[in-house]
Amino acid sequence: ISYKYIKIYEIYIFFFYLFSLCALALSNKVSFDFPSFSVGNNNITLVGDSYLRNGVVGLTNAIDEPTSSAGALVYNKPISLLDPLTNTTASFSTTFSFSINNVNPISFGDGLAFFLSHDNRSLGTGTGIGGGGSLGLPNNFVAVEFDTRFDSRFDDPNENHVGLDIDTMNSLMTGDPILHGIDLKSGNTITAWIDYKSDHTVLNVFLSYARSKPLEPVLTVRVDLSLYFKDAVYVGFSSSTEGSTELHQIESWSFHTIGFVPARPRLQPHNVSDNSVSVTVGNNNIPASSSSKNHDKRVRFGIGFVIGGPVFFCAVVFSFLGYISVRKWRRGVRNDQKSFKSEFVACPREFDYKELKSATREFHPSRIVGHGSFGTVYKAFFTSCGTIAAVKRSRHSHEGKIEFLAELSIIAGLRHKNLVQLQGWCVEKGELLLVYDFMPNGSLDKMLHKESERGKLLNWSHRFNIALGLASVLVYLHQECEQRVIHRDIKTGNILLDGNFNPRLGDFGLAKLMDHDKSPVSTLTAGTMGYLAPEYLQYGKATDKTDVFSYGVVVLEVACGKRPIEREGPKMVNLIDWVWGLHSEGKIIEATDKRLNGEFEEEEMRKLLLLGLSCANPDSAERPSMRRVMQILNNEAAPLVVPKVKPSLTFSSDLPLSIDEIVSDAEEFNTGQSMCEIKIE
């Protein structure tokens, strides 16, 4: 068959397949819309303390005295989100307007949640996991919470956050609406958009005081919900108060899916107690009417294929297989190029340059969020899937190529919860680009030294968790990978914080692979002054112990809130020397960050400071392994004994830089920005 006929056949099959999928999806759409709510609406159920008044649903008791109350609004008909024939999950989107208000400004809590659940029996009654203090949710759920109470039991970041919860009130990830100009407790009407795209396994939450959808989401979570949607689900809202007077109101609601028909209603769809299936107006209970008013709701269900569905489905499948076969043939014909790209098939995805250019507004300076050893980092917003990512772009394609290849080849094969996840890469237009998950809380350096000036301060729990998470990922890199990975540039600027302030180590542009049984190889010294081990400065040999030294500096920086090399008056102060001096005087606890105002566990702080000194010992032989560090942090091993006087080292040859030169250079470069970025390469 000639090439041109193959191409024509390919185009035909592609459009037929696309048309077929679109037709099938549109025919099975589930959609409903409530611009307001009415007493005669028999498509919703009010549960627990919820009530309806003036077209608005209140979820909890509307009284002036503090009380514990729970209630829910549920759409009556269960909805199927899983197609058993293809084992695929439908995408869904919901939009609703709500308000959270209070007659007593000091009595806020707990907030409200949008949920999907197989269980509609324990909603809002206090019998499920929700109860009084947990948003009135049922025993199993996927929920987006709009939380207005700080509760340490659930690791809440603050008293004003949005989070994704699955079967527990400990959120998988949270977002801060204040950063987007939204105060959940303002009392104003807020419109929310929740979009789940099953093909991208991404859930996005948008918030606005206006009716127009904003460009950037408050919360983005990569999560595959297919495991939770095996059976039909109920959708709705729940809320609770825990001894407060907070008011939660739902003013309008629309919901739709693309892909599948609604599930057949159960014989007893509500399956709740008799006192919770009525619509309440004022103090009077009125049974829900068997008819509803058209001007109060618009409910539409697409009619799926009944007889021709299986035949149509088979035609789509065979067409798709034919299209894939032709694509494979075309790939074989064009297999004479892209030798460079073929080396990195392990990477998740190859991005198109135009897509990255558009997502970063043509690499506009306003989108710059940082700089790494590899190049500039931009915030990218992909409108096609509603996700945010970080794009690292090389400064010079020729000089940055080696570092680019190093980072790509190393991190593509790494998997750890405390690593920044690589999404993909791009090599076009002389540019070298890497695409990562976006970390909403930025770098640890920024959070320690800049955000505190704006009133945002890492608490002790977050700081200890950062030390633990960083130790965990270094154990993985040093001992658990097939080849040992020496990072060589561990510093607070390369440690990013996700929505829950968990640490994610990034920037592998200077990393080196090494077999576990091989000796370190001498290279040009690379890294950031203040974090470099003395033997690394002298001999240029990167080992796991040089990473341990850098980790020790980071730990001291986290505990003390001071930079590794910092100006105090006319002189520069080395953080390690300063802490060791306090330790020699028996006053090491005085090194604690004064901004914590004493809100920390003293024994944990003492352990962290001594651990930092142990790791930053000038004698590499005396430094612990990262495995031992983890054991110490987890109370599985005794802390190391730290000498009262800092050990001194002598070298057989002259230093490439003398101590005076190092301090002089640090003085020159320390301009009060991210840190003294003295690069020795």
Closest CA to 276 of 126, 56, 134: 126
- Phi and psi at 451, nearest 5°, equal -65, -25
The number of C-alpha atoms within 13 Å of 466 and in the hemisphere containing its C-beta is 30
Q: Which of 165, 176, 437, 489 is catalytic?
A: 489
CA distance 529 to 507: 16
- ∠ at Cα 129 (126, 135), nearest 5°? 70
Whether residue 490 contacts residue 542, with contact meaning beta carbons closer than 8 Å, is answered with no
336 is catalytic: no
Cis preceding linkage at 231, omega within 30 = no
CA distance 624 to 162: 40
CA distance 531 to 476: 20
- The one-character DSSP state at 261 is P
Distances (CA, A) of 92 to 203, 218, 598, 674: 10, 18, 47, 42
User: 98 has which bridge partners?
Assistant: 190, 250
Three-state secondary structure call for residue 183: coil
Q: Looking at this protein, which amino acid is placed at residue 245?
A: T
Three-state secondary structure call for residue 295: helix
* Cα R_g (the chain), whole angstroms: 29
Distances (CA, A) of 262 to 66, 73, 83: 40, 19, 11
Whether residue 563 contacts residue 449, with contact meaning beta carbons closer than 8 Å, is answered with yes
Instruction: Return the structure tokens found at 566.
Output: 């910092």
Closest CA to 246 of 91, 383, 84, 71: 71
Distances (CA, A) of 285 to 30, 124, 274: 31, 17, 11
Instruction: Return the structure tokens found at 307.
Output: 């007889």
- Phi and psi at 559, nearest 5°, equal -75, -35
Instruction: Return the structure tokens found at 482.
Output: 């097939």
Residues labelled as active-site residues: 489
